[in-house]
A and B are shown apart, each in its own frame.
Chain A
């Protein structure tokens, strides 16, 4: 039996609302099937299943909001023992009441709306000692305050091995999370939480390099010559592909920092998309390194409208390993990004514009782009970052090899 849990779709996600089950009880699930729609602060996400088996039981009803890690359904894979399934297989899921990573978070904890949590001094002390995140607890003390008993209950739930999935699901109902849809306010709060965490915890270092785009632009122009409009390439596809190849050479930047550097096997480049209603989403272009420039362009064409319609898949939201932010036409010359935790780098492309450019003693006018790298100094040093920008530049000067 497989326990299918509420996935974590980003460092800032604490809970999600199960909007709709997309499969029926008894239906056979294939790897990659979309099992449900979940609403988060980032919008409506299609959740994929990564196991095979028969849908045995729903444990969470449609419309219910539950914390990350809550068991949503049981999938019968023909084995009697219970295994845990998560959307992003390799990641360890947080239990519904999860220990926090950083002591600071407790001190500064606030609810989504910035209200102060009522908690007794003793309960706070015990929570800190046991690294319990009090923002997910419901207090049973005076004026609804969190008291020692509530923390002890939370500790026992974190430590207790999960025996009865159903019981577990019941219990999570008691944990109150403030309701919030994918409104622009909620989106703002999600961005605020992730970026505050980034700025608070990650010691960024910044590098910048101006790159000649004439060869890349010529190559794109050439490739587009015989194509119908809808199949034309945009320079951004070339940039993404070049970043993927550069990351392949400098794997320390394709990684996460979670009490140490963890390199990632796949290169899944997150691509920042600004929403018209405000806020941003960062869907991943999965395995960017093994896709051709054309395939990357197709993926972008598919993802952008879905992102704007809040219709992304869980894998696209949870699995990026590096981020690109691209200003595009008519925008700023340079952009200095904030790293999306727990990633360790973000590359920023300014507007591609014609500039005087000196090379081999000659001054000419060429399309250039100012490229910045913000990287986590805990994970890498400037030399690595510099090597990455050099590799990126080299690939952009040889677009035909992309």
Chain B
């Protein structure tokens, strides 16, 4: 058992960036304000001084332009990390991501890989209002050719980027703004992680809570409370939103016979829609109750604190829903 260290989510990501930059000189970071300002959310603070302006590169406010430049660099043999400040701005780069990064391997007959990692801040922050607070994982998880990862734990904040950098295909990495200051313990030697599989974070026999991203710690907290009431909750962090690892949650549902999917993204045509569909297709006869979902309310994320809170699932919502499902 290795030694545990206390670390913030932000610091874990920064260590990962430093790690990959130290180990591979082809790696560079580009994004708005990542250099002199230290990153909009201070993730890259201090890295400019350590690695210099050739490798920590401030870019103009043009998501399409600098994402396209990243794709070009990847094609030319570099290993770029592109930071898009928040997922809300990524729509400007959508053409580059969907029409270029994800298609080139296919359209070149397998000759051109795009080994690029695009990091995006996702979800609510602290009252940043609609245009800075959305959860748009489902948009990207829809696109073949992309690998879409969701960083729901500190261990993944430390390890997912390192593993993603080894991928020959474009990776979208979702980081959660709300969790940046959150402190958790991880093993001191934490490093690469599996990026093909979901992960069972807590075992239980009564119900499967299937979630990702900012839902992970909320579900774990709810599971802890429910555990004291004698309800054994199994918590699954999907982690890989594309290509989705269905085996892990299907195995779980076949054990618990009940599932609740929790996500902050809007409900319709979402990650949870996909999870529920696969359960219906492949585990229907193991279900003892209808599968349920807790998702983001389908409104632009509001500015006022109480409305922001009300627009996404909270621990209390999860507790209420699980109790209702198990004790109708």
Contact = CB atoms under 8 A, between A and B. Distances in A.
A125 B325 CA distance: 20
Contact of A147 (B284, B286, B289): B289
Interface stretch (A55-63, A116-124, A320-328): A116-124
Interface residues of A, number: 13
Nearest to A143: B328
Contacts of A179: none
B328 A121 contact: no
Given A140-B328, A142-B328, A148-B257, A122 B290 contact: no
A141 interface: yes
A4 to B, nearest CB: 37
B328 A120 contact: no
B288 interface: yes
A148 B288 CA distance: 6
Contacts of A121: 284-288
B328 A122 contact: no
A122 B325 contact: no
Nearest to A150: B288
Contacts of B286: 121-122, 125
Contacts of A147: 288-289
Interface in B236-293: 257, 284-290
Contacts of B285: 121-122, 124-125
Interface in A118-171: 120-125, 140-143, 145, 147-148
A145 B290 CA distance: 10
Interface string A100-124: 0000000000000000000011111
B287 A120 contact: yes
A343 B290 CA distance: 43
Interface of A is mostly: helix
A141 B290 CA distance: 10
Contacts of A124: 285
A124 to B, nearest CB: 8
Contacts of B290: 142
Interface in B313-328: 325, 328
Contacts of B325: 142
A123 B328 contact: no
Contacts of A142: 289-290, 325, 328
A178 B286 CA distance: 29
Nearest to A151: B288
Contacts of B328: 140-143
B284 to A, nearest CB: 5
Contacts of B289: 120, 141-142, 145, 147
Contacts of A148: 257, 288
Contacts of A125: 285-286
Contacts of B257: 120, 122, 148
Nearest to A123: B288
A120 to B, nearest CB: 4
A141 B326 CA distance: 8
A13 to B, nearest CB: 31
Contact of B287 (A122, A140, A143): A122
A12 B290 CA distance: 33
A125 B328 CA distance: 21
B255 to A, nearest CB: 11
B9 to A, nearest CB: 37
A183 to B, nearest CB: 34
A237 to B, nearest CB: 57
A43 B289 CA distance: 40
Among B285, B286, B288, B325, the most chain A Cβ lie within 10 Å of the Cβ of B288
Interface string B47-88: 000000000000000000000000000000000000000000
A266 B257 CA distance: 52
Interface of A: 120-125, 140-143, 145, 147-148
27 contacts: A120-B257, A120-B287, A120-B288, A120-B289, A121-B284, A121-B286, A121-B287, A121-B288, A122-B257, A122-B285, A122-B286, A122-B287, A122-B288, A123-B288, A125-B285, A125-B286, A140-B328, A141-B288, A141-B328, A142-B289, A142-B290, A142-B325, A143-B328, A145-B289, A147-B288, A147-B289, A148-B288
Chain A to chain B: the 6 pairs with minimum beta-carbon distance, closest first: A122-B288, A120-B288, A148-B288, A142-B328, A121-B285, A147-B288
Given A120-B288, A121-B284, A121-B287, 8 more contacts: A122-B286, A122-B288, A124-B285, A140-B328, A141-B328, A143-B328, A147-B289, A148-B257
